[in-house]
């Protein structure tokens, strides 16, 4: 019996009609495996995953394959976006087996959910150097039955590694020199020809891009800053960028950003948005501003849910083919645009033979530079082609609302909104935050996933850390004290329910009871790790409201990051803010001009407190003693425990906040 029909996850519902006797992950499925004494086949994927769909069509929808699965295994299907804890554990086990990893994740477990072996995509018939899926099923079942000693050896080795204590000494010496060395190594890893990290496939890696920018500013390295901008420009020109509808695909399969893996994820666009706004604010180049505006246009048009929050993703496939909704032939463009087609084709690289499987992926990688009149005309042409595209069958949308991903969107919208003077983007972010705060909180904790009125609870450390950072970002933009209160609330939840004795965050709360281990990851994936999000949020909160222990917690995180720095970019970004960031405190009855200056400063190295009441300052805050000198309007620039004298002239504030300035006295 397939038991997925009552689930809320769109990914699980995609499999609810399979002839496989699927169970959702949970105590009932695990109890059934123990009762019948069968090994578990665990299949993990997500709704926008192309190869997940391929394996589903080939094997899970096939009655003969399903019969073998049902006979030999208890079959459990997991949406990795709903249960990142389950995915984290068994993906780590797969890596320990020497596999690269990816999705679909196919793992074989004992009836006690202990991993014994696994892989990713298995074809229905042997190909791509991979055995046929049914052959794999039968061989694993045979090994479990006939070679229990071998199975026990695998199980014990994997469990020992999974349960190993994450050991890292606090690093009291972390500072600009160490971060400078890491930044230099990162700069060498970037591709001077196409931008981004060298090689293929090419992922956006927004956390590494942010660290590259931070390092360029700290070191005064114009080459690194240019490489940051060049990488974003190449993405914006490439086929990974949706030139009609806005937003960016997950990654490109080639080394020059042309051919995307077509799924569009909320988290990628959330993280890229403020980076494009940062580049636009510093250079004035329209390509960056248009990319940022396109992301927001896509978010509002296709991802905005009733209530104000945002859906998770758009599928890579439509009508059973990857990318079908997004690619073009020359005759199609000619038919849509008629006599105007020549300009559109010249700008977006449409050719008779195409650039991908006889079709064209729109891009701006050629040398054609439209003049201003042509640029104006192109706006209307894009609208006409997009209108035609919208009448095609569209990729499916995964409309579950994830707290952590929405936290990233809130941060992105606010930071981009301030840099590009778009207060409407800040208002949109406030609406998303309001939905999460009103619909996804119970008993002082966040839930993780909401859909159709049903909440997956409790949430993960990533949810609380992302919302902590989102609340601080909204506080910086609006001065609303409730946001600062919320940030303190989420920090308290993290310390009470998710942290170990050193302060390192487990992914799951202390009430988790259906896992063989309690995962405590520190490395980033496509999204920032919980500990990385916490590092930046902690550093920003400490700058606004100094408290004991912040330095020790950041030192502990630095110790973990030092093991493999470039895999911990989000922690590095938090550490960099702790070292180089400034807290700008603005007080007085006539403070609006000073606030506008403060909020226009690039977000990576500043946080802002709008001081409406001196008593809102923590007792130990260095501004408190001189706040009576604020007069009708003054700003104070604080770095560490040193603050400037009051600054009443916005022009002077601009000068003192310039990257070359480090004046606090």
Q: What is the pLDDT of residue 233?
A: 98
Q: Lowest-confidence range among 224-238, 529-543, 601-615?
A: 601-615
Q: What is the mean pLDDT of residues 467-477?
A: 97
Selected residue with higher pLDDT from 587 and 136? 136
Q: What is the mean pLDDT of residues 143-167?
A: 89
**DSSP-based three-state secondary structure for 529:** coil
Q: What is the pLDDT of residue 128?
A: 76
Give residues with Cβ within 8 angstroms of 616, minimum separation 6: 481
Res 229 pLDDT > 50: yes
Res 90 pLDDT > 60: yes
Angle at alpha carbon of residue 457, lines to 451 and 463, rounded to 5°: 85
What is the percent of the chain where pLDDT is above 90?
83
Question: Which string of b and e fits 626-635 if b means at least 16 CB within 10 Å?
Answer: ebeebeebbb
Selected residue with higher pLDDT from 612 and 107? 107
Q: What is the pLDDT of residue 659?
A: 60
Q: What is the pLDDT of residue 665?
A: 43
**Helix count (H) and strand count (E) of the chain?**
24, 21
Angle at alpha carbon of residue 327, lines to 46 and 81, rounded to 5°: 10
Q: What is the mean pLDDT of residues 345-363?
A: 97
**Where is 183: in which H helix or E strand?**
helix 176-189
Q: Lowest-confidence range among 68-72, 353-357, 661-665?
A: 661-665
Counted residue by residue, the chain has a size of: 665
Topology given in CATH for the domain delimited by 10-162: Glutaredoxin (3.40.30)
Q: What is the pLDDT of residue 129?
A: 78
Mean of all residue pLDDT scores within the chain: 93
Selected residue with higher pLDDT from 624 and 106? 106
Q: What is the pLDDT of residue 53?
A: 94
Whole-number Å distance between alpha carbons of 117 and 281: 50
DSSP state of 325: T
Architecture, CATH, for domain 440-574: Alpha/alpha barrel (1.50)
Q: Is the sign of the CA dihedral 573, 578, 581, 585 positive or negative? A: positive
Q: What is the pLDDT of residue 664?
A: 46
Res 137 pLDDT > 90: yes
Q: What is the pLDDT of residue 620?
A: 67
Q: Lowest-confidence range among 277-281, 352-356, 578-582, 617-621?
A: 617-621
* Contact criterion met (CB below 8 Å) for 491 and 468: yes
Whole-number Å distance between alpha carbons of 391 and 154: 52
Q: Between the CA of residue 568 and those of 450, 544, 561, 601, what are the distances in Å?
A: 29, 24, 5, 25
Res 629 pLDDT > 80: no
Res 613 pLDDT > 80: no
Q: What is the pLDDT of residue 469?
A: 98
Q: What is the mean pLDDT of residues 446-469?
A: 97
Residue 589: which pLDDT band, with cuts at 50, 70 and 90?
confident
Q: What is the mean pLDDT of residues 507-523?
A: 92
Selected residue with higher pLDDT from 281 and 613? 281
Q: What is the pLDDT of residue 145?
A: 95
Query: Which residue has tokens 């068994």?
Result: 90
What is the maximal distance between C-alpha atoms in the chain?
83
Query: Which residue has tokens 């509808």?
Result: 245
Q: Between the CA of residue 487 and those of 82, 437, 474, what are the distances in Å?
A: 24, 12, 10
Res 433 pLDDT > 80: yes
Q: What is the pLDDT of residue 545?
A: 83
Interval 365-401: pLDDT, tens: 998 999 999 999 999 999 999 999 999 999 999 999 9
Q: What is the mean pLDDT of residues 56-84?
A: 97
Res 491 pLDDT > 50: yes
β-strand partners of 313: 265, 398
The full set of domain ranges for the chain reads 10-162, 326-391, 440-574, 581-656
Q: What is the mean pLDDT of residues 645-653?
A: 90
* Contact criterion met (CB below 8 Å) for 209 and 604: no
**Where is 559: in which H helix or E strand?**
helix 550-561
Res 661 pLDDT > 60: no
Q: What is the pLDDT of residue 167?
A: 62
Q: What is the pLDDT of residue 663?
A: 46
Selected residue with higher pLDDT from 643 and 453? 453
Res 614 pLDDT > 80: no
Q: What is the pLDDT of residue 401?
A: 98
Whole-number Å distance between alpha carbons of 294 and 247: 6
Question: Regarding beta strands 454-456 and 449-451, do their DSSP bridges make them parallel or antiparallel, or are they unpaired?
Answer: antiparallel
CB atoms within 10 A of CB 168: 17
Beta strand spans in 396-474 (E)? 397-398, 401-402, 441-442, 445-446, 449-451, 454-456
């Amino acid at each position: 019996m397939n038991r997925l029909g009552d689930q809320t996850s769109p990914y699980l519902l995609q499999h609810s009609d399979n002839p496989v006797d699927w169970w959702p992950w949970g105590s009932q499925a695990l109890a059934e495996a123990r009762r019948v004494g069968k090994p578990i086949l665990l299949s993990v994927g997500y709704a926008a995953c192309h190869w997940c769909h391929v394996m589903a069509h080939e094997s899970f929808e096939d009655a003969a394959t399903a019969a073998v699965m049902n006979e030999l295994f208890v079959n459990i299907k997991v949406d990795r976006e709903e249960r990142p804890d389950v995915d984290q554990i068994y993906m780590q086990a797969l890596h320990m087996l020497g596999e690269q990893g990816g999705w679909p994740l196919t793992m074989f477990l004992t009836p006690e959910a202990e991993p014994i072996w696994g892989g990713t995509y298995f074809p229905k018939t042997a190909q791509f150097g991979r055995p046929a899926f049914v052959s794999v099923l039968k061989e694993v079942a045979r090994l479990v039955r006939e070679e229990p000693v071998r199975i026990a050896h695998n199980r014990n080795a994997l469990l020992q590694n999974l349960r190993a204590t994450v050991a890292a000494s606090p690093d009291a010496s972390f500072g600009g020199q160490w971060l400078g060395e890491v930044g230099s190594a990162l700069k060498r890893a970037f591709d001077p020809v196409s931008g981004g990290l060298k090689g293929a496939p090419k992922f956006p890696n927004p956390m590494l891009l942010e660290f590259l920018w931070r390092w360029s500013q700290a070191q005064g390295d114009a080459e690194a800053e240019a490489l940051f901008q060049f990488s974003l420009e190449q993405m914006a020109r490439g086929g990974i960028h949706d030139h009609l509808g806005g937003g960016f695909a997950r990654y490109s399969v080639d080394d020059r950003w042309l051919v995307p893996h077509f799924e569009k994820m909320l988290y990628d666009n959330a993280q890229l948005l403020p980076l494009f706004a940062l580049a636009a604010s510093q250079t004035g180049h329209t390509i960056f501003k248009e990319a940022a505006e396109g992301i927001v246009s896509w978010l509002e048009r296709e991802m905005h849910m009733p209530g104000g929050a945002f859906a998770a993703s758009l599928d890579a496939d439509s009508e059973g083919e990857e990318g079908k909704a997004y690619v073009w032939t020359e005759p199609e463009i000619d038919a849509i645009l008629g006599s105007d087609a020549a300009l559109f084709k010249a700008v977006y690289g449409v050719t008779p033979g195409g650039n991908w499987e006889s079709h064209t992926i729109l891009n701006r990688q050629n040398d054609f530079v439209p003049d201003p009149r042509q640029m104006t005309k192109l706006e209307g042409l894009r609208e006409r082609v997009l209108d035609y595209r919208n009448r095609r069958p569209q990729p499916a949308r995964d409309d579950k609302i994830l707290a952590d991903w929405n936290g990233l969107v809130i941060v992105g919208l606010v930071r981009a909104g301030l840099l590009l003077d778009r207060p409407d983007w800040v208002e949109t972010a406030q609406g998303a935050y309001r939905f999460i705060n009103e619909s996804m909180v119970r008993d002082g904790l966040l839930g993780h996933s909401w859909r159709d009125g049903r909440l997956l609870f409790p949430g993960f450390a990533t949810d609380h850390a992302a919302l902590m950072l989102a609340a601080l970002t909204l506080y910086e933009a609006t001065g609303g004290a409730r946001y600062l209160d919320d940030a303190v609330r989420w920090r308290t939840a993290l310390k009470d329910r998710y942290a170990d004795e050193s302060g390192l965050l487990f992914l799951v709360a202390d009430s988790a009871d259906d896992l063989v281990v309690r995962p405590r990851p520190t490395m980033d994936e496509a999204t920032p790790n919980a500990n990385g999000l916490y590092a930046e949020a902690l550093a920003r909160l400490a700058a606004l409201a100094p408290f004991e222990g912040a330095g020790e917690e950041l030192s502990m995180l630095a110790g973990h990051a030092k093991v493999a720095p470039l895999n911990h970019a989000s922690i590095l970004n938090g550490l960099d803010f702790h070292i180089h960031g400034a807290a700008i405190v603005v007080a007085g009855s006539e403070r609006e001009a000073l606030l506008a200056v403060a909020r226009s400063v690039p977000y990576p190295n500043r946080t802002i407190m709008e001081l409406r009441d001196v008593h809102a300052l923590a007792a130990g805050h260095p501004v408190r003693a001189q706040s009576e000198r604020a007069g009708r309007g003054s700003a104070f620039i604080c770095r560490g425990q040193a603050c400037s004298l009051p600054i009443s002239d916005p022009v002077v504030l601009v000068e003192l906040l310039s990257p070359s300035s480090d004046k606090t006295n």
